[in-house]
Amino acid sequence: MSEIRLNVITGDWVVIATERAKRPEDFTKKKEKRDLPPYVPTCPFCPGNEDKTPPETYVLKDAEGKWALRCVPNKFSAFSNELEIRKERFGLKQRLTGGGLHEVIIETPIHNTTTALLPLPHVENILVAYRERMLSFYKDKRIEHVIIFKNHGEGAGTSLEHPHSQIVGTPVFPGQVMNRLGEAIRNYYYVNFGDCLYCLVLKDELRDGIRIIGENESFAAFIPYAALSPFHIWIFPKRHSACFAFITDKEISDLAFLLRDVLFRLHKGLSNPDYNYVIRSLSPNGADAKYFHWYIAIIPKVTQIAGFEMGTGMFINTAMPEESAKFLREVPVEQDNKGNGLKF
């Protein structure tokens, strides 16, 4: 019999379709794999092609003085860095000029790798770049909200194979974010006791244990009780904070380890599926909000949204969250002797 579960963080009802449920391994990516070279002469993100991107805004270098990570403005930005914000209203119609910020974080010089396979210090570099660029974006008075995200694979919306993430600063506060904040502020536990719903969910998941994928001193990764889709994963910080930009260096090390570990388990267990991940966070000015808790959402693209979801706003999940978490926990992970690499 199917279950209908409430995702208390998003406010969504999710149909856990047990009668249509698949085994976790049935979500393994089945399309043909292509062997990519470590360098592609025509790729604008590969070393030697720096003139094909706008000048970098941020760079981290390796011990030899070569760049290990670069941030550059997106040549095809959704927003214009030059525009001032001007609002206009015509009755019910409203518009404003599309000023904002949009950058690409080129995560590594190597064309044919992925976050799951990078050395641990390099994943730390990526997270440091996220932190520094978020802080920089929020210094622009036009920016209302900053979003950091990664599209991995064609099915997740990426157009360039070279490993990269994106950071966007928008001049408006997105409706989806407003809805999440509304759920957090209106929930029973915050209204009556001042408790952060996210902290309570994290404690609940750690107590249950059956949906936990991994944890360390600073973070826990789990598939939520009412996951919106198969293998939908959340990584929550154990320290309450509403803003990712105030993550400490120790937390960056812990997050790098757990993020890479989770992505590796997806990479190996589901044969490198396409996925999106996003950092959900408030601004530095909202860092002390007691009702919100920043986190990372990872969404493997192993199913498609269809008419029912579009017509109702409800989700159908054909994978039991408990079984999906168990599957990922049991993926064998072998570290090198320094803990810097993962291998099959």
* Positions of E strands within 17-136: 58-61, 67-73, 87-90, 93-96, 101-106
Beta-bridge partner residues of 236: 220
Beta-bridge partner residues of 46: none
Q: How does DSSP classify residue 187?
A: S
Give the residue from 86, 53, 333 showing the smallest Cα distance to 221: 333
What's the distance, Cα to Cα, between the start and end of the chain in Å?
Answer: 38
The catalytically annotated residue of 111, 162, 164, 293 is: 164
Q: How far apart are CA 294 and CA 94, in angstroms?
A: 30
| Cβ proximity of 231 and 317 under 8 Å | no
- Is 162 among the catalytic positions? no
* Alpha-carbon distance values, 62 to 55, 68, 88, 106, 163 (Å): 19, 6, 48, 14, 17
Contacts of 323 (CB under 8 A, 6+ apart): 21, 23, 24
| Cβ proximity of 176 and 60 under 8 Å | no
Catalytic residue ranges: 164
